[in-house]
Amino acid sequence: MSDLLLLGLVGGLTLLLLLTLLAFAGYSGLLTGVAVSAGSSLIHNITVAYKFHVGPYGDTGRLFTESCSISPKLRSIAVYYDNPHTVPPEKCRCAVGSILSEGEELPSPELICLYQKFGFKIFSFPAPSHVVTAAFPYTTALSIWLAAHRVHRALDTYIKERKLCAHPRLEIYQQDQIHFMCPLARQGDFYVPEVKETERKCRGLVEASDTQVDDAGADTMSDTSSVSLEVSPGSRDTSATTLSPGVSSRGWDDGDHRSEHSYSESGASGSSFEELDLEGEGPLGESRLEPEDKPLGATSGPQFP
């Protein structure tokens, strides 16, 4: 009898623990639906204090903690520039910090000096006219993990299906809500100077490699030409054939290497917000190719060599 009582007590406690965990997960947003829409932005132009981070996005928790410890009453913000599904974790870039002011209000000089004292930089973002937006409850620490796995996936699907050009990804932590935004206009104004600097360095490396390839191709052509001059006159066809690899040494692989980095590559065709019908104006992402328009590369008649 005592064994049955003990077994029932253990089963009851286990069931109670499971119910508690389910209630906690539900309170954190496990059962909350993710609604993605396109429309006007919820924020105006803002001034932020941020720190730039290159590495796995999971390592940004210390930056949130540092910015919140300086001024706990301010809203936290994070701007993610790279897609972690396509970019190696050690190359992902983001900016994390706090919103110092919004709208016409200017941040106090004392607050700016305080953040700069701890190594934060000051930058201003404009008010985006149109954004892709979503929201998620922010009630517990588990809410952050759930939002990272559910909301970003929903944003990816929404943007890809409608072929939008929406980047970068903004997260704003405000009271009990996490607001997600992807600007559809003026995207370049949301890139901090460190991101632009890395892009310039990448372009410089690509151009340098292209120059080396061109020089190598030119050397190959000159060497081949010098050799072909020494061949007998009856071998002109062979010398002409030898020159062709030097001419076609740059193939399809010489593309822009920036395509592997930015969230801007997530949209298939990169449609702007001007091609997007907002709520109440029709379906989103419809193609608007006029009858007289022709796709790129189309020909109007037979082509002769």
By percentage, how much of the chain surpasses pLDDT 70? Answer: 66
Q: Yes or no: say if 229 and 193 are a contact pair by the CB < 8 Å rule.
A: no
Amino acid 276: pLDDT: 55
> 245: which residues sit within 8 A by CB, 6+ positions away?
220
Amino acid 209: pLDDT: 66
More confident residue, 168 or 206: 168
Angle of CA points 50, 54, 59, to nearest 5°: 85
Q: Yes or no: say if 256 and 206 are a contact pair by the CB < 8 Å rule.
A: yes
Amino acid 206: pLDDT: 63
Amino acid 274: pLDDT: 46
The domain spans of the chain are: 24-196
Q: Does 244 have pLDDT greater than 90? A: no
- Token match 């999971």: residue? 58
Binning pLDDT at 50, 70 and 90, where does residue 263 land? low
Amino acid 233: pLDDT: 39
Give the 3-state DSSP-derived string for 32-43, with helices as H, strands as E and coil as C.
Answer: CCCCCEEECCCC
Q: May I ask the CATH architecture of the domain 24-196? A: Alpha-Beta Barrel (3.20)
Amino acid 19: pLDDT: 92
Amino acid 4: pLDDT: 82
Q: Does 149 have pLDDT greater than 80? A: yes
The SS3 assignment for 179 reads strand
Binning pLDDT at 50, 70 and 90, where does residue 153 land? very high
Q: Does 72 have pLDDT greater than 50? A: yes
Q: Does 54 have pLDDT greater than 70? A: yes
Binning pLDDT at 50, 70 and 90, where does residue 248 land? very low
For residue 206 the two structure tokens come to: 């690509």
Amino acid 197: pLDDT: 84
Q: Does 214 have pLDDT greater than 80? A: no
DSSP H helices in 42-129:
61-70, 109-117
Q: What is the rounded average pLDDT of the residues 167-187?
A: 93
Q: Does 194 have pLDDT greater than 70? A: yes
> 95: which residues sit within 8 A by CB, 6+ positions away?
48, 50, 51, 52, 53, 78, 79, 81, 123, 192, 194, 195
Amino acid 271: pLDDT: 53
For residue 71 the two structure tokens come to: 């001024």
Q: What is the rounded average pLDDT of the residues 265-277?
A: 50
DSSP H helices in the chain:
2-28, 61-70, 109-117, 141-162, 193-229, 236-247
Q: Does 219 have pLDDT greater than 80? A: no
| 157-175 pLDDT, tens digit each | 999 999 999 999 999 999 8
More confident residue, 152 or 287: 152
Q: Does 259 have pLDDT greater than 90? A: no
